[in-house]
Structure 1
Amino acid sequence: MNFDEAIAAFEPALPLAVAYSGGADSTALLVACAARWPGQVEAFHVHHGLQAAADEFERHCAAVCERLGVTLRVHRVDARHAPGESPEDAARRARYASLATLASAEGTRAGIQSIALGQHADDQVETVLLALSRGAGLAGLAAMPEIAQRDGLVFHRPLLSVPAEEIRAWLQARDLPWIEDPSNADARFTRNRIRTELLPALDRAFPQFRSTFARSARHAAQAHGLLVELAQQDLAAIGTPPAIAALRQLSRARQANVLRHWLLQAHGCTPSTAQLDELLDQLETCTTRGHRLHIKIGTGFAERRGVLLHWYNPSPPTEASR
């Protein structure tokens, strides 16, 4: 699917906000959406405060929006990561929180529930490769969905089938300016190394890799959805928190599936593979009433309390540390 076809197929609820960084992808998306729905589109810009050039990014976005006749709304945030935290994860969380803040801010067009994001086919491939490099399961291999709900908003990624090169060609043909984020050239970030080293090699070896990776991601998303449905059914049967005897009646694979689901949904906790394997091993030997179970899981602990399996965090994060 080319860029114009992707925009033609995009049918969000209006009015619409476009997450606008000033880069090529979000610029093309903003320009195309503003042309298709004049007067119904606003631009949301997140000033991350991570680079000296951040102020210049904001000025560039303001100039482009003035040229397009589009309202620009800016939210400033300190997206620096905490010790031991991934800089990319910290920036992503700050970005989503800022977009939600902008959508509900005083002065923003009433009724905005749809936000368009500019990720494209190359971004999707990078996400799949990152997931593979980390040994991710189906949830990671599913990569980025075309439509997702978060914080009461609907996020759309209408360009996931469009290669980055085509987006830039679309902008160049219209003499439209964009900015290049210097952090995209920083080889310390795995995603940047994938972009500069792996994608060119894949392009030479497998020219159709963007579409085939996207298809694999969709298959993974479908399979993950089935696992979530099964986990919901199993959790309804074993209870919340889970009854250990009922949990032990499930196969080890279903135990792992329902425990991941319970920990994430009830506690926002994602266990490592090693932690989950240890928990499953202990559940296997948990055959007597006096058997003690207490292991580290994520930021807290899973433990046996009577006939039930509980999870708790002895030191929950304060508001200041979140």
Structure 2
Amino acid sequence: MTASLDAAVAAFAPRLPLAVAYSGGADSTALLVACATRWPGQVVAIHVNHGLQAAAAGFESHCRSACGALGVPLHAERIDARHAPGESPEDAARRGRYEAIHRAALREGVACVALAQHADDQVETVLLALSRGAGIAGLAGMRPAWEQDGVDYCRPLLEVSAADIRVWLKARGVEWIEDPSNESEAYTRNRIRSRVLPALREAFPTALNTFARSARHAAQAQSVLEEVAAEDLQRVGTPPDIAALRSLGRARQANVLRHWLRSAHEAQASTAQLEELQRQVAACATRGHDIRLRVGEGFVQRDGARLVFTPSV
């Protein structure tokens, strides 16, 4: 059974002052109202105007009016969220939105930012990860909390369903706006929401809870993998010693290589790239064997006894 919104907010214990990422939609509206009620005078709202729709100005105007009625300061950030060639529009908008929220959080000196993703969003995220062949990290779904540059980020509604959020708002007579882009099946997440989730609920009525539980199990497993990877990276060194890498089992080797690339160079290796890198490491039994493989925005290369990462110029 999913949690109630009131119970989720009651269990939420953020550092103050608190910012709520506020789009004007049902989810962020409920979170903003609940937080402003619980911590009066300690909450601000951050609204990101993507400028991608004609309705964007209307969204911002609605948010200003709603915040005025609540007595909550609104900080509106305007961004250019157009996607680069080869980048998905959804990913570009998401990246731009989080960057804008973070800039505003640092500028306004808030201690914590609350994000309104809920249980349905978590299931969609896990299904999207499955469709892409993701590993444990992807199947863990969205993180409930993390820290960046001294600012805490929290998702207190991850165990609350979208339906319960709307019931909560209607019971209080609170209005929200619907983003028309949420109805467009040009976006993969929207197709999951409109087609897959209803069928899943019909076949498995408890899917919302069981998928969320699976995501928590995956998150725990991912945490263990990261601890092991950090320990192994100390053993193989930074940059990694090739002989030390070759002494590890294949799965553990993949784990530490992925961790090294991500933690030291913010590079994300695809499955194919990682498998090819491991193949080359396995073949690297002589001094003359060269390694040069593109990963992310750079290259993994052999430098004597070690692997190094060189960013693209």
- Give the shorter-chain TM-score range: over 0.9
Q: Distance in 2 between matches of 1:41 and 1:312?
A: 44
Identity %: 62
Normalising by structure 2, we get a TM-score of: 0.97
Q: Distance in 1 between matches of 2:150 and 2:51?
A: 26
Match in the other structure for 1:85: 87
Q: Distance in 2 between matches of 1:50 and 1:82?
A: 14
CA RMSD of aligned residues (A): 1.0
Match in the other structure for 1:318: none
Match in the other structure for 1:235: 233
Does residue 19 of structure 2 align to residue 21 of structure 1?
no
Structure 2: which amino acid aligns with 1:180?
E
For residues 131-154 of structure 1, the C-alpha deviation after alignment (integer angstroms, 9 at most, x for no partner) is: 000000111111112111123311
Match in the other structure for 1:195: 193
Q: Distance in 1 between matches of 2:114 and 2:52?
A: 23
Match in the other structure for 1:113: 111
Equivalent residues in 2 for 1:59-138, closer than 5 Å: 59-105=61-107, 108=108, 110=109, 112-138=110-136
Structure 2 CA distance for partners of 1:186 and 1:151, relative to 1, 3 Å: farther
* Partner residue of 2:43 out of 41, 49, 52: 41
Q: Distance in 2 between matches of 1:129 and 1:166?
A: 21
What is the number of residues matched between the two proteins? 311
The runs of at least 4 consecutive aligned structure 1 residues that moved more than 3 Å come to none
Structure 2: which amino acid aligns with 1:225?
S
Normalising by structure 1, we get a TM-score of: 0.94
Deviation at 1:96, TM superposition (A): 1.4
Equivalent residues in 2 for 1:144-155, closer than 5 Å: 144-155=142-153
Deviation at 1:313, TM superposition (A): 2.2
Deviation at 1:92, TM superposition (A): 1.5
Structure 2 CA distance for partners of 1:152 and 1:50, relative to 1, 3 Å: farther
Does the CA contact (< 8 Å) of 2:106 and 2:151 recur in 1?
Answer: no
**What runs of 5+ residues in structure 2 fail to find an aligned partner?**
none
Does the CA contact (< 8 Å) of 1:100 and 1:151 recur in 2?
Answer: no
Does the CA contact (< 8 Å) of 2:236 and 2:244 recur in 1?
Answer: yes
**What runs of 5+ residues in structure 1 fail to find an aligned partner?**
316-322
For residues 255-307 of structure 1, the C-alpha deviation after alignment (integer angstroms, 9 at most, x for no partner) is: 10000000011111111111111111111111011111112222221111111
Q: Aligned with 2:307: secondary structure? A: strand
Deviation at 1:186, TM superposition (A): 1.1
Match in the other structure for 1:278: 276
Does residue 162 of structure 2 align to residue 164 of structure 1?
yes
Match in the other structure for 2:298: 300
